[in-house]
Amino acid sequence: MYITSGIESFNKLMGVSFFKRKHSFKNFPFIFGISNLVLYLVSVLISAYQSRHDVTKFIYCVATFGFGCQATMKVYSFVITRRYIIDLYENNLQFYRDMNRQSDMVKRVLCDNASLTYIVIKATVLIYLLLVVTTMTIPSLSAIFMETRILPFGFVIAGLHADTLESYIWNYGIQVIMAVYYWIITVGSDITTIYNLLTACGQLDALMAIIEELNQQLENNECPEKIQEKIIEIIGQHQYHRSYLQQLVDFLNPYHFVTVGSTVPTMVISVLGLVLLDWYPGAAIVFLGSIQMFYICFLGTSLEIKVMITDALTLKVGAIHWNKLSVRDMKHMNLVLAMTQTPKVLAVATLPLNITAYLKIHKFIYSLIMMLQNTKD
């Protein structure tokens, strides 16, 4: 409850709620943020058209357009279709209420998982804040030492031109506001996703603890009624976990498809400008896109770690005292054993989202850089 209330407090900065069904979007932060997003997309398109004869400026506009696509998808996924997020939250809430009736060992496992979730969320907020501050600060500092003034994003606000110092300050100030809103919506969506994924890991940890309790009951030769009751509980918890994980994967797969589909072209275009045109701001965009890709793949890897935990769960089920089970109980546990071998993973089309995919993408970009450099030479 402490973690979710913290996420909700953060989401209030952009006037939304991910965990309350009754929420009015008729508030200033939300309307102001959406207006900034619309202004951002319109300004990028207009600037790209106006700069069609200047290759460097045109590439800059096209590259930064990918961030607008990401923000649009985040608004769609976490605002327009937020009922799916609310369903996941209510399932989590019911799960933790049910776990309050469990033993101290199970509660301790869930507390450890909650502590890990809290640490990862805090680190995510700080890392994203550092990225935004760096991205917005470097262009302003470079403008002091260079003759040409560089804006953080590759466009000018519609109706404003950055030819004079006054117009540059206006453009820079508005882009800072846009960057802050982008930081808020990115952090809000990502920490909610982290919370849901790590909670799914906690569900499996708790299930393994319950199986360990079953094994202890078998060692102590508990009565068949208690053994059967514990097995029914294990089956129920495992069915709940699979249903929850399927719901989470169905929500995240299209979201990550659009996010990765806009980030990778943005990085490739930035590499083109960096190598062929000595467009150095492209390096900052590549770095920012790389960090975002890392977080997406990190989340996918956390789910693959779940697959590893599932292997551990298979070993845990296989290590119980099967010889002390009745034929009926053996059939029930054999069903659990079979279901643990079909895990769910995050994917974009047919590519699983994990650190391996992250390395493949960067290997492709590095190969592209070398090919372009050789061609240029």
Task: Lowest mean pLDDT of 86-100, 262-276, 278-292, 307-321, name the range.
Answer: 307-321
Q: What percent of the chain has pLDDT over 70?
A: 92
Task: Lowest mean pLDDT of 43-47, 61-65, 250-254, name the range.
Answer: 61-65
pLDDT in tens, 201-211: 888 888 888 88
For the cut 90, the answer to whether the pLDDT of residue 322 exceeds it is no
pLDDT on residue 175:
86
Where do the domains of the chain lie? 1-375
Asked if 138 contacts 125 with a C-beta cutoff of 8 angstroms, the reply is no
Residue with the larger pLDDT of the pair 150 and 214: 214
For the cut 70, the answer to whether the pLDDT of residue 311 exceeds it is no
- Is residue 85 very low, low, confident or very high in pLDDT (cuts 50, 70, 90)? very high
For the cut 70, the answer to whether the pLDDT of residue 164 exceeds it is yes
For the cut 70, the answer to whether the pLDDT of residue 108 exceeds it is yes
Asked if 346 contacts 249 with a C-beta cutoff of 8 angstroms, the reply is yes
For the cut 90, the answer to whether the pLDDT of residue 246 exceeds it is no
Place of tokens 């800059």: 60
Q: DSSP 3-state assignment of 302?
A: helix
- Is residue 303 very low, low, confident or very high in pLDDT (cuts 50, 70, 90)? low
Residue with the larger pLDDT of the pair 119 and 134: 119
pLDDT on residue 362:
86
108, two tokens: 């301790």
pLDDT on residue 119:
93
Q: DSSP 3-state assignment of 347?
A: strand
pLDDT on residue 162:
64
For the cut 90, the answer to whether the pLDDT of residue 280 exceeds it is no
Q: Give dist(CA 39, CA 47) in Å, integer.
A: 12
Range 40-48 average pLDDT: 87
For the cut 80, the answer to whether the pLDDT of residue 346 exceeds it is no
Q: Give dist(CA 186, CA 125) in Å, integer.
A: 9
How would you classify residue 221: left for phi > 0, otherwise alpha for psi between -120 and 50, otherwise beta? left
For the cut 60, the answer to whether the pLDDT of residue 1 exceeds it is yes
pLDDT on residue 307:
56
For the cut 70, the answer to whether the pLDDT of residue 260 exceeds it is yes
DSSP assigned state of 76:
I
Range 91-106 average pLDDT: 88
Q: What is the mean pLDDT of the chain?
A: 83
pLDDT on residue 337:
76
Residue with the larger pLDDT of the pair 330 and 372: 330
235, two tokens: 């089956």
Amino acid present at 35: S
pLDDT on residue 308:
54
- Is residue 89 very low, low, confident or very high in pLDDT (cuts 50, 70, 90)? very high
For the cut 90, the answer to whether the pLDDT of residue 115 exceeds it is yes
Q: Give dist(CA 374, CA 350) in Å, integer.
A: 32
Range 278-289 average pLDDT: 74
DSSP assigned state of 221:
T
- Is residue 281 very low, low, confident or very high in pLDDT (cuts 50, 70, 90)? low
